[in-house]
């Protein structure tokens, strides 16, 4: 009897103790995960993955995937893994409105990050308010997004185009103080229109005797610019300002360079930095180039002395074979800001926060990125510094980089909270 019972007793004992240990571990794991936390944080990511703007959107996608994977390896945001649902921004604002609805109602995402095109972010902003979904706009530049509406659910984590225009105006006058004639070549939608208007306003405020000799307007990502280039050549301006971007900009630069536009005029291209690696050695020298008004690019701040920058640049290059460009940095800014907001809200609430708590935590938040700090304001517009320079071929890299770099501080380039850009530009010094 005893010989039979002993194994039985041992068996039950072992089972119970194992069960107890398992329960303890389980309880510990559950406690480590925040109380009331969802199974996963589902984020929608919207950018251009097809069409002429794809070379632009792919950078953002790469940065997003890099970051999300890194976070999930570390356990997610306070223990909750992040799942990304990617949606193509190609196809026009009405398609984007439908896709936004689908992300919220069908995919049931917790928040949406994205929107490069100014037309699209203006279209989805009212929808975000209607569907009460936290939306973080990462790149879209039109100032109208944050100035014309009081935003509740929408946040923009990077400077808007007023900063680009003001930096361009200040820099061109520093390079060419006796400037007389300027022409514009821009795309006929919110981005192109607002950027050109603000550039003109800033320039004329800083130097009222400049003469605007002409402007050409093209469709978004038009791809064919011969007639427009002919017109620019015939106007013979000293300076040409153009906010073409992505595939359209690459085509424009190639077509214009072949016809010596860059020899005849000093050209300002606020979005040129993104195209450096696509143009390779076809980038003309001495073009005023910006990564829009972003606080840095892959060489500035110097990765060797800034660990966060070094980590990001090296990881990005190793994985994708390219150096991160400004869409990659702005995507980093957006995701890092969102994560910081969630963490701050969680610390304040002591459990997984509701959307409204995250929104509240996001306001007046400052977070770190590889190129410096970003601060979100109460009007849901974030601000940071910006850099500008002249394009110069680099034999080391095989594409152009920025030379004669100048960094401009926030108060020099972005209007303060509560002041409309159009009014602020009139007071520029």
Partner 1 sequence: MAARPWLLAVPIVAGLFVAAPFVAPSWILFILHLALAKFLVVLAVALFLRGGLVSFGHALFYAVGAYTAGFAAKWFGVREALLLVPLAGLFGAAVAAVIGLFMARYRGVFFAMLNLAVSMILYAILLKFYWLTGGTDGLRVQTPTLLGFVPPRDLIRMTSYYVALVVAGVMTYVVYRFLASPLGYYLKALADNEIRIEYSGESVQRVIYATYVLSGALGGLGGVLAAFTVGHIVPEYAFWTQSGEFVFVALLGGYGSVPGPLIGAIAFEFIRTYANKYAPYAWQMTLGIIMLLIILLQPGGLWAMYESVVARFSRRAEGVERA
Partner 2 sequence: MALLTIVILDGFVFAAVLFLSVGLTLIFGVLRILNISHGGIYALGAYLGTYLALKVLDLGLSPYLTYVMLLVGAVIIGVITGPLLERLFLRRVYGQAEAIQLLLTFSILLILDDLIKLIWGTAPLMVSTPSTLLGHVSFAGITYTWYHFLLIGISIVFGGALVWLVRGTRFGKIVVSVINDREISIAVGINVNRIYTLAFTLGALCAALGGAAVAPTIAVAPGFAVEVGVQSFAVIAIGGMGSLEGAALGALLVGLVRALAIHTFPELELVVIYVLMLIVLMVKPEGLFGEVELRRI
Q: Enumerate binding residues for partner 1 (CB under 8 A).
A: 50, 88, 92-94, 97-98, 101-102, 105-106, 118-119, 122-123, 126-127, 188-190, 193, 217, 219-220
Q: Which stretch binds partner 2 (CB under 8 A): 9-17, 242-250, 349-357, 392-400?
A: 242-250
Closest approach of Cβ 194 to partner 2, in Å?
Answer: 18
Q: Is 98 in the site for partner 2 (CB under 8 A)?
A: no
Q: Which is nearer to partner 2, 376 or 393 (CB)?
A: 393
Residues 260-289 that bind partner 2 (CB under 8 A): 260, 282
Question: Are the C-beta atoms of 357 and 253 separated by less than 8 Å?
Answer: no
CA dist 323 and 320 (Å) reads 8
Asked if 71 contacts 143 with a C-beta cutoff of 8 angstroms, the reply is: no
Q: Is the peptide bond before 301 cis (omega within 30 degrees of 0)?
A: yes
Q: Which of 228, 238, 273, 325 binds partner 2 (CB under 8 A)?
A: 228
Please say which residue, 248 or 415, places its beta carbon nearer to partner 2. Answer: 248
Residues in the chain: 429
Within 340-385, strands assigned E span: 366-369, 372-376, 382-383
Site string for partner 2, 195-224 (x = CB under 8 A): ---------------------xx---x-xx
Strand partners, 46: 87, 114
Q: Please, what is the angle between helix 118-131 and helix 93-105, to 10°?
A: 30
Per-residue b or e along 88-102, where b marks 16 or more CB atoms closer than 10 Å to that residue's CB: bbbeebeebeebbee
CA dist 364 and 348 (Å) reads 15
Q: Which is nearer to partner 2, 272 or 359 (CB)?
A: 272
**SS3 (DSSP) at 324:** coil
- In the list partner 2, partner 1, none, the entry touching 98 (Cβ below 5 to 8 angstroms by class) is partner 1
End-to-end CA distance of the chain: 100
Written as six digits, the tokens of 157 are 């984590």
- Residue 97 binds which of partner 2, partner 1, none (CB < 5-8 A, kind-dependent): partner 1
Tell me which residue of 47, 94, 55, 46 sits closest to 245, measured CA to CA. Answer: 55
Question: Does 114 sit near partner 2 (CB under 8 A)?
Answer: no
37, 41, 46, 49: which one binds partner 2 (CB under 8 A): 49
Please, what is the minimum distance in Å from the beta carbon of residue 115 to partner 1? 13
Least spacing, CB of residue 124 vs partner 1, in Å: 8
Q: Which of 77, 66, 114 is nearest to 317 (CA)?
A: 66
Residue 259 in contact with partner 2, rule: CB under 8 A: yes
**Pair of tokens at residue 45:** 């990511």
Of residues 52 and 161, the one with the C-beta less far from partner 2: 52
SS3 399: strand
State the minimum distance, in angstroms, from the CB of residue 82 to partner 1.
21
Interaction partner, residue 101 (partner 1, partner 2, none; CB < 5-8 Å by kind): partner 1
Rounded to a whole number of angstroms, the minimum distance from the CB of residue 99 to partner 1 is 8
Residues that bind partner 2 (CB under 8 A): 49-52, 54-55, 58, 216-217, 221, 223-224, 226-228, 230-231, 233-234, 247-248, 250-251, 254-255, 258-260, 282
């Amino acid at each position: 009897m005893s010989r039979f019972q002993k194994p039985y007793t041992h068996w039950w004992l072992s089972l119970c103790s194992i069960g107890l240990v398992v329960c303890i571990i389980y309880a510990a794991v559950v406690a480590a995960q925040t109380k009331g936390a969802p199974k996963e944080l589902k984020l929608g990511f919207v950018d251009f993955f097809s069409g002429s703007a794809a070379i632009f959107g792919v950078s953002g996608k790469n940065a997003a995937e890099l970051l999300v994977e890194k976070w999930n390896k570390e356990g997610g945001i306070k223990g909750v893994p992040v799942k990304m649902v990617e949606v193509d921004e190609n196809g026009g604002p009405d398609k984007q409105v439908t896709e936004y609805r689908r992300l919220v109602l069908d995919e049931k995402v917790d928040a949406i990050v994205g929107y490069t095109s100014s037309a699209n972010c203006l279209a989805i902003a009212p929808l975000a308010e209607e569907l009460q979904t936290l939306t973080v706009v990462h790149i879209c530049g039109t100032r109208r997004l944050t100035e014309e509406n009081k935003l509740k659910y929408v946040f923009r984590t990077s400077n808007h185009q007023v900063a680009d225009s003001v930096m361009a105006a200040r820099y061109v006058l520093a390079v060419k103080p006796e400037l007389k004639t300027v022409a514009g070549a821009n795309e006929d939608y919110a981005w192109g229109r607002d950027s050109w208007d603000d550039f003109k306003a800033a320039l004329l405020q800083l130097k009222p005797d400049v003469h605007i000799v002409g402007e050409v307007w093209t469709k978004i990502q038009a791809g064919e610019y011969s007639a427009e280039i002919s017109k620019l050549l015939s106007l013979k301006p000293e300076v040409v300002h153009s906010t073409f971007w992505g595939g359209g900009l690459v085509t424009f630069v190639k077509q214009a360079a072949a016809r010596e536009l860059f020899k005849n005029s000093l050209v300002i291209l606020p979005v040129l930095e993104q195209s450096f690696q696509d143009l390779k050695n076809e980038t003309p020298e001495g073009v005023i180039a910006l990564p829009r008004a972003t606080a840095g690019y892959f060489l500035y701040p110097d990765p060797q002395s800034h660990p966060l920058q070094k980590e990001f640049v090296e990881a990005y290059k190793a994985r994708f074979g390219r150096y991160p460009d400004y869409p990659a940095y702005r995507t980093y800014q957006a995701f890092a800001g969102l994560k910081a907001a969630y963490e701050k809200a969680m610390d304040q609430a002591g459990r997984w926060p509701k959307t409204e708590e995250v929104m509240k935590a996001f306001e007046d938040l400052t977070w770190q990125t590889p190129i410096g700090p970003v601060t979100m304001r109460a009007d849901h517009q974030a601000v940071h510094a910006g850099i500008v320079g002249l394009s110069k071929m680099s034999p080391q890299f095989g594409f152009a980089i920025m030379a004669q770099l100048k960094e401009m501080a926030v108060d020099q380039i972005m209007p303060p909270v509560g002041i409309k850009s159009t009014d602020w530009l009139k007071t520029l010094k």
